[in-house]
Amino acid sequence: MKRILFLIVLFTFSVAGWAMGGETQNISVSNSNSEEELNVKELILDHLADSYEWHLFNTKNSSVTIHLPVILYSKTSGWNIFLSSKLHNDKNNYKGFGIATDSKYKGKIVETTSSGEQVRPLDLSITKNAASLLISSLILILIILGVSQSIKRDPLKPKKGFSGIMEMFILMIVDEIIKPAIGEDYKRYSPYLLTLFFFIFFNNLLGLFPLFPGGANVTGNISVTLVLAIGTFLVINLTGSKKYYKDIFWPDTPVWLKVPFPLMQIIELVGTLTKPFALMIRLFANIMAGHAIVLGLTSLVFVTLSLGSAINASMTVVSVIFTVFIDFVELLVAFIQAYVFTLLSSVFIGLAREKEPEKENKELTLEKLAEPGNHL
């Protein structure tokens, strides 16, 4: 480890030294480049937000982009389905629809009404994230079905290779998370929780993978995590036990806290909402922050372009090292967030399934105390 670190440092300095030597000749070049300086904040926010086309890569003088279908329903013109490439004409406008450049709908398609107002139509476009979601869902289904087939074919033989890894993951989730958190009835919930885990984990990993099917900020998008959190919310509240609902609507507190003004009920109801809300925000913020950091570190290379080639070269090395490091951290985070989401979901489900505690013990002790000759 020390040796590797030493090598990295050596490499950094040698590149810096080499760049120093070449600086005098390169100054003019770097100056000419600096005019197309890039706005890092814009770039990062652009990536984190959704878009109507999927920008793959740039060639020498053009960029390769997949134009995704736009599906809109507006009150005035009904359903409109077209490719997003149609939006990029000279007027940036197609059938009255255009991508807003400012205002609160920035980056989204808006409809300009006859009165000149900008209205947002019902936008069911297959955006970059939606396309990525559909592709990843398809891949995930194929993978898991394949694994299940290969396990089903010969259930008594322990699996090797990919099926073995997947089986290990499944067993780990079931044995370490679901079983202890939910208890006896865990088999009812394990398909949902396993799906949750693999969906999040797979999309996290796909988000880290920079080439085509990956690279979209899927699980770092609040709409995606919102749906996941709503799923958990529904599971928690639709399968809650009597005690769970009693604790919400008639908790064991002094009566004045709940009768004239339902203070406790409000607190408990807010509590039921904050659980999935926390799940939603956690996943979204972690993955989004990861993407933002990777992008920010990568743009170090281009930001320092204008500061001279010596700094630029050394910063490039620093940037690459840090990006690789952060990417590894993100791999870990991808797993941890999927794990935590599943863990907390199962803990919440387990809490909502709690049964009324047996009253027998209490009565027994009371009876014992009441027995004659049994003085305290």
By CB under 8 A, tell whether 238 contacts another protein. Answer: no
Q: Are the CB atoms for 70 and 82 separated by under 8 Å?
A: yes
Min CB(219)–another protein separation in Å: 10
Query: Judged by CB under 8 A, does residue 144 bind another protein?
Result: yes
> Is residue 321 within the footprint of another protein (CB under 8 A)?
no
Among 47, 52, 48, which residue's Cα sits nearest to residue 97? 52
H or E segment to which residue 54 belongs? strand 53-58
- The yes or no reply on residue 330 touching another protein (CB under 8 A) is no
> Residue 12: which region, alpha, beta or left (left: phi > 0; alpha: psi -120 to 50)?
alpha
**Inter-residue contact 264 to 253 (CB < 8 Å):** yes
The residue count for the chain = 376
DSSP 8-state assignment for residue 97: E
* CA 330, 46, 202, 173 torsion-angle sign: positive
Q: Which is nearer to another protein, 56 or 145 (CB)?
A: 145
In whole angstroms, the minimum distance from the beta carbon of 226 to another protein comes to 5
221 near another protein, rule: CB under 8 A? yes
Counts for the chain of helices (H) and strands (E), in that order: 11, 8
- One of 48, 66, 301, 351 touching another protein (CB under 8 A): 48
What kind and span of H or E run contains 168? helix 161-172
Q: Does 349 bind another protein (CB under 8 A)?
A: no
Q: State the DSSP code for 94.
A: B
The yes or no reply on residue 254 touching another protein (CB under 8 A) is no
Q: Of residues 151, 311, 326, 351, which one binds another protein by CB under 8 A?
A: 151
Among 33, 65, 190, 265, binds another protein (CB under 8 A): 190
The reply to whether 170 sits near another protein by the rule CB under 8 A is yes
- Greatest Cα pair distance, the chain, in angstroms, is 104
In the complex, which residues of this chain contact another protein (CB under 8 A)? 45, 48-50, 71, 104, 106-108, 122-127, 129-130, 133-134, 137, 140-141, 144-145, 147-148, 151-152, 155-156, 158, 167, 170-171, 174, 176-177, 180, 187, 190-192, 194-195, 198-199, 221-224, 226-228, 231, 277-279, 281-282, 285, 288, 339-340, 343-344, 347
